[in-house]
Amino acid sequence: MLEEKIKVALNDVRPSLQADGGDVEFVSVSSDGTVSLKLTGACGSCPHAQMTLKNGIENYLKQQIPEVSAVLGV
């Protein structure tokens, strides 16, 4: 159920990433709420990828889904 919530929320941020030639891929979620994501396309090699993950995607997921504790890039 948590995985589905995360995937739905990622669909909300996906258009912004795609506008810059990138995307995000769900990898996994651990029992402590740590979400592993993979940035692809232009976002995968962008020097601001870590900032996008932490300041953008992580903040959004935490607001939408309280069970999310952190987001990691893989």
- The domains of the chain, with CATH numbers, are 2-73 (3.30.300.130)
Residues found in the chain: 74
Question: What distance in Å separates the CA atoms of residue 33 and residue 23, rounded to the nearest whole number?
Answer: 22
Which pLDDT does position 44 carry in this prediction? 83
Which pLDDT does position 50 carry in this prediction? 87
Which pLDDT does position 34 carry in this prediction? 97
Q: pLDDT tens-digit profile of 13-68?
A: 999 999 989 999 999 999 999 999 999 998 888 888 888 898 899 999 999 999 99
Which pLDDT does position 59 carry in this prediction? 96
Task: Give one DSSP letter per residue of 31-71, joined into a string.
Answer: TTSEEEEEEEEGGGS-TTHHHIIIIIIIHHHHHH-TT--EE
Question: What distance in Å separates the CA atoms of residue 4 and residue 74, rounded to the nearest whole number?
Answer: 19
Question: What distance in Å separates the CA atoms of residue 74 and residue 71, rounded to the nearest whole number?
Answer: 10
